[in-house]
Copies of this chain bind each other. A is one copy, B any other.
Amino acid sequence: MKKKLTIGLFGFGCVGSGLYEVLNRSNLLNATIKTIVVKNKNKQRVLPADHFQYDKELILADPEINLVVELIDDADAAYEIVTRALRSGKHVVSANKKMIAHHLDELIALKNQNNVSFLYEASVCGSIPVIRNLEEYYNNDTLRSVQGICNGTTNYILTRLDKEGKSFDEILKDAQRLGFAESDPTLDIDGFDSKFKLQILIAHAFGVITLPADILNIGIRNIKEQDIRFAKEKGLKIKLIAASEKIDQKVIGYVAPQFIQEDSFAYDVNNEFNAVTIEALFSDRQVFKGKGAGSFPTASAVLSDISALQYDYGYEYRKKETTQLNYASGFSTRLFISSTNPDKLKLIPFTEVEETFSSKDYAYKTGTVNFGALTHELYRNHPELFIAFFPQTEGNFKLAPVEENVVLQNTF
């Protein structure tokens, strides 16, 4: 019954080496790693150098290898490896959310043409089996919304900001020192990583394939100590939320900081933990919580994909075949903006203002804003401006009455 899998592994970083150990310690799988290809010849690794190869053809051109596991950082190199592997009739397991978010439509077509499986549970929220659940379990329920805390680095930073009353820069430096943030933190703190994961969630939840340029991502880089204090005084927390919701046969999505109330799924998701909440018409609201990153949790998700391949499992994207949905950006939301410079608050046009506050070094405004008024550039070009969705009943967006369909220009 179980298919024998001969694996070619690309990459031996945190997840790759975790997978190697997990595969060796779990004897339930009929799968062996035949060849490991890495890029850097001089890097110190936990295995002796003779375990590694440096020529990708040793995997891609090896007819005995029927499964390519791709665990490298470089999205462009990963794209080449994955497309070539699929074209060669090899199954592929990948954790590269950035690559998938940019090329999903093509990758689905390729795996269909070549009659192989392309699995990537590890790409979204590490050990939380959210893709498999969306794909298998919720396929016949009418999904309303999928939201999550999908990035451990920003959640770790926000948790410490909430507890310690230090500045964003201080905490970021400390997180980098401790290995919780990359030396170039842009992907995480500007919300790109969360966005790539959200795109994958939207594909499996609603059957809509998006490109990174379709979805707004506002990060946490501009958060100030006063913003944290404002939240605490109101019993709220600030979290970076990746959210998508279906309204009137349209799917909307964004990544942005949100003020979170105590009754939200996100309130008690702290430090490096991730959580995803799935709301469906009949099953009500489900919350999945777990470790979103790390060597073993991520390797465990990769292992689960490998295990499923032994039983010829493949994503079917059933909703993609039946969906009538389009990606839409035209809706309004409650917003909070703040700045050290009160003039900056004028940058965002409110359709309705609820509160304004101003002191000599801090000003904020709350009210309703058309979603199209928010752009990635606004966030990137005005570091004094902190933008966050304001006490938001979960999933409670409103479609704006009339708004031109803004094409976002924030491709990464």
Contacts and interface: CB of A to CB of B under 8 A. Distances in A.
B140 A28 contact: yes
Q: Chain A interface residue count: which class?
A: 35 or more
Interface of A is mostly: mixed
Nearest to A268: B268
Interface stretch (A46-54, A289-297, A358-366): A289-297
A96 to B, nearest CB: 20
Contacts of A138: 304
Nearest to A295: B282
A341 interface: no
A398 interface: no
B129 A307 contact: no
A288 B291 contact: no
Contacts of A289: 265, 286-289
The copy count of this chain in the complex is 2
A287 B284 contact: no
A318 B265 CA distance: 33
Given A26-B140, A129-B137, A140-B304, A290 B285 contact: yes
Contacts of A287: 287-290
Interface string A106-139: 0000000000000000000001110011001111
A46 B287 CA distance: 32
11 contacts: A26-B142, A133-B133, A140-B306, A140-B307, A141-B303, A141-B304, A282-B297, A282-B300, A283-B301, A285-B291, A287-B288
